[in-house]
Each structure stands twice: as C-alpha cells, then as structure tokens.
Chains A and B, each alone.
Chain A
Amino acid sequence: MSAVEALVDLLAGRRDPGSLAPRDWDGVISVARAEALLATLACRLEDAVLPPSVAALFADQRAAAAVGQAQALWEAEMARRSLDPAGVEFVLLKGTAYAAAGLACAAGRQIGDLDILVPWHDLGRAENLALIDGWEWLKQDDYDDAYYRDHMHELPPLIHKDRDRMIDVHHTILPRTHRITPDALALVGDAIRTPGGFRVLNPADMACHCAAHMLADGDLQGGLRNLWDFHRLTAEFAAADRGFWGKLDARAEMHGLEKPVHRAARLARDLYGAKLPSGWNRIKPGDERYQRRLLARDDWGRATDPLLQQIFYIRSHWLRMPPLMLARHLWTKWRKGRAAI
C-alpha cells in the first residue's frame, strides 16, 4: 500500500493506525505535508494510539493549526473593520469561512490567504478601503495586473504591509472568462451569518464553491485537501438537514455547476467513503482519471505522473478561457519568460 493510499484510508477511518509499521509513517507524514493535510490527519487521529514520536508531532500540528486559525480569523476581523463601516458587505470564503462557521472540516485545516467575496458593484470601493487600511499591491507587472482585472474572478492579490498577510477580494467564484458563470449575486444575496457575525455562503453554495474550486478552476493541485473539505461539508450539512442533497442539486444546477458538484461527490465516495443518496450514486468512467491525479504522489511526497499532471494543467486553462484568448495569453507569457532569460 502506498503512503498516499494509507493517508486517504486513515482520513476515511478505514484503517487502524495501529496497523501501520513505524516506518510507514515516514511516507504518510511527507504526503500529508505535501497535501496540506498533516494537521487535519492529526485532528482525525487525536484519540488514536500512535508511536510516541508521531503523537508528539501530531500534537505540535494541532497546536500550530489552532494558532493558524486564530490568525486567519483575526485577518477576517481586520477586513471587517475596514469594510463594514463603509457598508461594503463581504462574504468569507474557503478556510476562513469554515473556521468562522465552526464547521467540522475546519479541524486542523491549514488556512493561507483571506478570501472574501464582495458584490461586483462594491469591488472598487472594497479595493480603495483595503488600500487605505494598509493593504498593498503585491509587486507584479502590468500584464498580470490587467489580466486579473479584465478576466479573473478576483482583484490582483493584496498583501498587508504590517501583518504580511494576503487578501484575495473576489467578485465571483470562477474566472469571468470561464465557460461556467455561477450566479454571483445569488451567492452574496443568500449568504448566511455566523454566530460571530461574519457572512458565509449558505450550505449548498459553500459545497458548490468547494467543488468549483477543486474541479473547475485549477489543475487539481492540493485536490485531496479540497475533496476532504467537500466530503466533510456535505456530510455535516446532510446530517443537519435531510433535504440537503436535493437543495445542493438545485443550487448546483442554478450555478451551472452540476457536473463538478456531482463529480466531487463521487470522488468523495470513492476516496473518503462518503454516503451518497440514490440520484448521486452513479459510476462515471472519467472519474478514474481524476482519482489517479489526486493520488499522484510517491512515498517521498513527490508528485508523480507528470503527463497526467500536464493534461490537467492544460485542461484547467482550457476551461478558464476561450481558445483564441488562451493562445494570446500563452504567447504573451512565453515572450515574457524569454525576455527574463
């Protein structure tokens, strides 16, 4: 059994950690680190009997994740103090949202940048307020800046000059040039409030965004973590609301995301043992390739299967923009790359 399969089995609860030989942990720890899942695994196995050094390392990881979440929530608070007084309503996305909403998948989840969603008509004001309050443009060239503004679903990344933390201000959840155009106004309009007073996407939209981010936007790097998010989110929402899967279906259809959402659910079933209702429980031959891509790591934590990775990389660009635009974009990037040499 490979380390990445052992990791998936441990997360899914299919495998007794006591059955691992001491040296099997080397690979599990390296792969979990590479997939940003080490603290998640540490939380998952908090009560398990582990080799002492693994238990100590996992305790470190849990403590570090708790600090990371406190810091991420503080960034959210900073954004609130900047945007709220001006009446710019924003919705937290991804890791910070999961932590703010106290969801199960937040346990041990690594949180990088602060991701927020604002309505399109407030984007300019949000940008100005951020600049006034100490966020700055990350240094980049004019092409990248224009590319973000014209084609992406977020502003060019901003970093805070004192706290050194990035904020991504989104106005929708997929690039503007993407073949799929989710209903951004509905995402903001139907957002819900956490007990702490932050806005987050409603459960069905949150799962839609998670699936879109994993399967429609990128090349599936870090996909095991995103899939874990999706699995834990849907399991938790379905446990609280028997009608959840139906609502998710309706909402995914409205956003044009039914394919990625259904695929995410099937992958969560195949890898993490998710229980799906009948309409969802299908077999699609294409899934196998996605599974292989998600599991493409060796026992040293290295990415394997470069050809498959390349295919997914090309696919991500293909989805993101029309062919002519893609050709122009790649041509510009290539010329820039050559000029740099």
Chain B
Amino acid sequence: MRHCTRIAVGPVQFRIGSDWAAPIAALKTLYAGYPRDDARPADATVRLFAARPWRRWLRPSVHIGGDYIVPDALPLPLSMGLLAAEMGMNLQVALGWRRHMLLHASAVTKDGRAVILSGESGSGKSTLAALLGEGEWRLMGDEFILIDPQSGGALGFPRAVSLKNEAIAEVEARVDAARFGPLLAGTPKGDIRHLIPRADTIAAMHELARPALLLFPRFGGAPSIERIGEGEAFVRLTEASTNYVALGEAGFAAMTRLVRETPAFTISYPDSASGMAIVEQLWAEAVR
C-alpha cells in the first residue's frame, strides 16, 4: 500500500498500510516511543483503504480491513484515521491471536502482581487504569490483557490508551500535554483522545505479572464492593474473552485456573478518586 508503518505492541507485530499519509503519520507520532524492529515479520496486517479510488480525495472515508474484517463495518472520515487504525489493530488481535487467552480488560501492575479490570465500554476500566498508571502503578493495557496458558501469568498489551468523553479532561488535568494524541471529536464512540503510556510501561511490555485481583467495575452509584464467586467470575470473563472458545481445552484450563487463584469483586464508584481508593483497599487486603 502507498503508506505503511510497523508497530509492536506487547507480543504482536503489526503491519499497517494506508491509502492516505495522515493516519500513518499520526500513528508514527503516537508510537514513536515504542521499540521498533523493522526486520521482524508482521503477525498481523491492518489496511486502511478507500472503497473507490476517487474516495481518496472526494469525501475521503477510511474503510478498515486486514487479515480479519468485520463485514459491513461502517467507514470513518479521514479525520478519524487514527481511530480506524486502532479499531483495525484491535480487530486483528481479537479475532486472530491464539498464543494467549485474551481478556477484554485493562490492568495495572505492582511488584509483579496484576490487578485486572474487566467491564463493558463505559464501565470506567480504561480511565481507572490510566489514572492508576500515572501513580505508583504501572499500566499494562486498557483494551486487552493476555493470559499465558502455560504459567497463568498476565501479559500487557499497552497500546496508546483510548480516553473517551469525560475521561479526557480528567486525565488531561494530571498528565503532560506532550503525551496526548490529537482530539478526535464526535466519533461514533464519542470524543476520543489517545494517551501515550509512560516509558516504563512500554519498556516492561514483555513482562508477565501474576494476577492478584479480578475487578468488575461499574461507574456510577454509591461506592460498593462485592465479592463474587469463581463461577460468576468465570462466566463474566468468558464473555469478556474473544478467543476463549477457539482455544478449546487450553482456554478452559487457563480460565479455571485464573478464577480459582484470583479473588474477584464487583465494584461501584461515583468518581475516579473513590474508584482508585477501592482498588488500593482491595489490593492491600489481597497481598497482605
């Protein structure tokens, strides 16, 4: 394709091609601090393309393609090319990756132990992890957490954090402006701004952490903590995994081990400060 770059996030080497220069330039800026190995073959290919040649210039709209595609996915305007690239990369991992069990989750780590936050979009898992990751914790990722079937350890996938709507201002207030991508206003997912993870996150992206806590956050409502059983955690996580079924027995073994060895809680919180306090409280009890 006309424009192209390579990005390594966690264990996945991406090749991203585009009919336009702008999305590739934006990716290069956002991922400038990531290690580059241009000689390493790509595990996954993403293509950003115009459905018709003239749509490169005339009302340019970006279709998301690659090794795996979602049929009938709607294209995005060129100004949201960065979001298209992100969606394309997520898609390749969600549908194609088999080395680990994938959890749609965010996570932070300390002392080799991981706190995994799983929830729907809007549960606040990205924001909580991003904010914790600016403090004493190291961010592991805000989209996928990869569970190694052999060791049971968690591996991060620290792509640029995708902050949405109110979370943007909240994180902007605490983080150096140089670590933000451009504001993508009015996307199908609302306003989006990417946060470049801290250097320590990127440097440690191949380190496994042992899961210490499984949290299912819900943003809004009075602060509450509720312990849940292995069975419920199991069911919730199978719903949060894109490749649990495809992994067969290995997936079942990894999932059973994860919920047996890791205490799980649902938490509700009215604001980020109380959410972070709950995580710290549960952490203190879990590692005690």
Contact = CB atoms under 8 A, between A and B. Distances in A.
B99 interface: yes
A67 B247 contact: yes
Contacts, number: 60
Nearest to A59: B99
Interface stretch (A20-28, A97-105, A119-127, A221-229): A20-28
A25 B41 contact: yes
B13 interface: yes
Contact of A26 (B15, B47, B250): B15
Interface in B32-71: 38-43, 45, 47, 65-68
Contacts of A61: 98
A12 interface: no
B43 A67 contact: no
A54 B40 CA distance: 9
Nearest to A74: B248
B246 A64 contact: yes
Interface in A3-23: 22-23
A71 B15 CA distance: 31
B244 to A, nearest CB: 12
Contacts of B65: 302
Interface string B82-115: 0000000000000011110000000000000000
Contacts of A29: 41-43, 45, 67
B40 A71 contact: no
B246 A22 contact: no
Contacts of A25: 41-42
Interface residues of A, number: 24
Contacts of B41: 22-23, 25-26, 29, 51, 53-54
Nearest to B67: A33
A172 interface: no
A26 B42 contact: yes
Interface residues of B, number: 25
Nearest to B41: A25
Nearest to A51: B41
Q: Which of B13, B38, B40, B250 has the most CB of A within 10 A?
A: B40
Contacts of A63: 98, 250
Contacts of A57: 43
Given A61-B98, A63-B98, A301-B67, A30 B248 contact: no
B119 to A, nearest CB: 24
Nearest to A71: B248
Contacts of B124: none
Nearest to A57: B43
Interface in B1-57: 1, 13, 15, 17, 38-43, 45, 47
A300 B47 contact: yes
Given A60-B99, A61-B98, 12 more contacts: A22-B41, A26-B15, A30-B42, A30-B45, A33-B67, A33-B96, A51-B41, A53-B43, A64-B247, A67-B247, A301-B45, A302-B65
Interface of A: 22-23, 25-26, 29-30, 33-34, 51, 53-54, 56-57, 60-61, 63-64, 67-68, 70-71, 300-302
Interface of B: 1, 13, 15, 17, 38-43, 45, 47, 65-68, 96-99, 246-250
13 contacts: A23-B39, A29-B41, A33-B68, A51-B40, A53-B13, A53-B41, A54-B41, A57-B43, A60-B98, A63-B98, A67-B248, A301-B45, A301-B66
